[in-house]
């Protein structure tokens, strides 16, 4: 009987794993909450493939132990593959899949909700109310329909964000190195990033972290933005020079900052720091600010997205195991 073994399964993933297993009685599905390490790799013994999601590196040693057990088919439940030692994976003949698109709406909705919250100053208002101050002023809101929203990156997530912001009545403009023909025909694209910075009240980032996008938001690009602009980053922490953003918040240049991803988030986000020393003073300062909305990379974290990550990864793994073409293979290239 075909067997698939899944690592680092969280409580919230279990129902979807069980749903998939029930729909595939021909497959023996087993799982653990443990991460995949050289030590735990042996737990998969007897399996034909493994399903994994972790920030931890897939080291040469981990891959070797798996391969020694005859397991070379690995399906990730997430997108990113930079923590896989591809040279070893290639040498050992690994076949790998990921889930590049699981729910653009999850991330776009989060960005839209947080954008609207910044504009209505809800964090400041909530704090005032909780302290017993029920006065209106000075916590006045800005309506979304009065904003020009500049979207950088019109891929899966950027496009859904554009639709939601338009639903609120915003004027939406966009920049991308690749022009989607539908959006092009509808006239959304401006010619340059400078046009986005000069015209937008809200600048929202939906591009991957690449050589030419890393730290694209810095002192010089922030200076090109309108006064009282709102910056939204639910994309990748590396896109933003956080110190420059802090300076722009301090000077009042930025009205607010939405931050779901942070350049130093690894090892800090998705950890319970209560009762422990908080490890990052800059992050603590951002969390405390009334006009900054920090979330610990939770934009993707919805029932819809988690279900898709589990189900699509298992579908991919079963295809690999059956010698069929998986829906979303990863190039195993160093």
- Dist. CA 103–CA 121, nearest whole Å: 28
Measured from the CB of residue 210, what is the shortest distance to ligand NAD in angstroms?
6
Query: Which residues fall within 8 angstroms of residue 13, CB to CB, at 6 or more apart?
Result: 77, 306, 309, 310
307 is catalytic: no
How many residues make up the chain in this entry? 334
Measured from the CB of residue 110, what is the shortest distance to ligand NAD in angstroms?
7
236 is catalytic: yes
Q: Using the 8-state DSSP alphabet, how is residue 40 labeled?
A: G
Our CB check for ligand NAD shows the closer of 73 and 236 to be 236
Residue of 77, 142, 206, 297 marked catalytic: 297
297 is catalytic: yes
Measured from the CB of residue 235, what is the shortest distance to ligand NAD in angstroms?
4
Residue of 77, 109, 265, 307 marked catalytic: 265
Our CB check for ligand NAD shows the closer of 213 and 317 to be 213
Place of tokens 């889930």: 99
Chain mean position to CA 20: 24
Positions touching ligand NAD (CB under 6 A) are 101, 104, 107, 152-158, 175-178, 206-208, 210, 212-213, 234-236, 260-261, 297, 299-300
Our CB check for ligand NAD shows the closer of 43 and 213 to be 213
DSSP percent split of the chain into helix, strand, coil, nearest 5: 40, 15, 45
Cis ω before 131 (30° cut-off from 0): no
Measured from the CB of residue 236, what is the shortest distance to ligand NAD in angstroms?
5
Task: Check if the beta carbon of residue 255 is closer than 8 Å to that of residue 229.
Answer: yes
Residue of 206, 236, 263, 307 marked catalytic: 236
Query: Which residues fall within 8 angstroms of residue 140, CB to CB, at 6 or more apart?
Result: 121
Our CB check for ligand NAD shows the closer of 30 and 180 to be 180
Our CB check for ligand NAD shows the closer of 158 and 256 to be 158
Ranked by CB distance to ligand NAD, the top (closest) residue is 155
Measured from the CB of residue 130, what is the shortest distance to ligand NAD in angstroms?
28
Catalytic residues: 236, 265, 297
């Amino acid at each position: 009987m075909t067997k698939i073994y899944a690592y680092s399964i969280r409580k919230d993933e279990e129902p979807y794993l069980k749903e998939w297993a029930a729909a595939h009685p021909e497959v023996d599905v087993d799982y653990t909450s443990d991460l995949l390490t050289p030590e735990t790799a042996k737990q998969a013994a007897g399996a034909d493939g493994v399903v994994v999601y972790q920030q931890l590196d897939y080291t040469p040693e981990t891959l070797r132990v798996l391969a020694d057990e005859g397991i070379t088919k690995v399906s990730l439940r997430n997108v990113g593959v930079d923590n896989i030692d591809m040279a070893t994976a290639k040498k050992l003949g690994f076949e790998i899949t990921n889930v590049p698109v699981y729910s653009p709406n999850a991330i776009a909705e989060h960005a839209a909700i947080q954008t609207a919250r910044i504009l209505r100053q809800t964090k400041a208002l909530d704090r005032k109310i909780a302290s017993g101050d029920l006065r209106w002023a000075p916590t006045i809101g800005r309506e979304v329909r009065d904003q020009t929203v500049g979207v950088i990156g019109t891929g899966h997530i950027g496009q859904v964000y554009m639709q939601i912001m338009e639903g609120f009545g915003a004027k939406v403009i966009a920049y991308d190195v690749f022009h989607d023909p539908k959006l092009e025909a509808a006239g959304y694209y401006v010619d340059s990033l400078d046009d986005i910075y000069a015209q937008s009240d809200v600048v929202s980032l939906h591009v991957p972290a690449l050589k030419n996008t890393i730290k694209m938001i810095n002192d010089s690009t922030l200076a090109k933005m309108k006064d009282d602009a709102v910056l939204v980053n639910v994309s990748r922490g590396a896109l933003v020079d956080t110190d420059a953003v802090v300076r722009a918040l301090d000077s009042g240049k930025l009205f607010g900052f939405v931050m779901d991803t942070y350049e130093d988030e690894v090892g800090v986000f998705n950890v319970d720091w209560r009762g422990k020393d908080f490890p990052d003073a800059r992050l603590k300062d951002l969390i405390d600010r009334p006009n900054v909305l920090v979330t610990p990379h939770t934009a993707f974290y919805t029932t819809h997205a988690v279900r898709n990550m589990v189900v699509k990864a298992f579908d991919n793994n079963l295809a690999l195991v059956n010698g069929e073409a998986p829906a979303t293979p990863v190039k195993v290239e160093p």
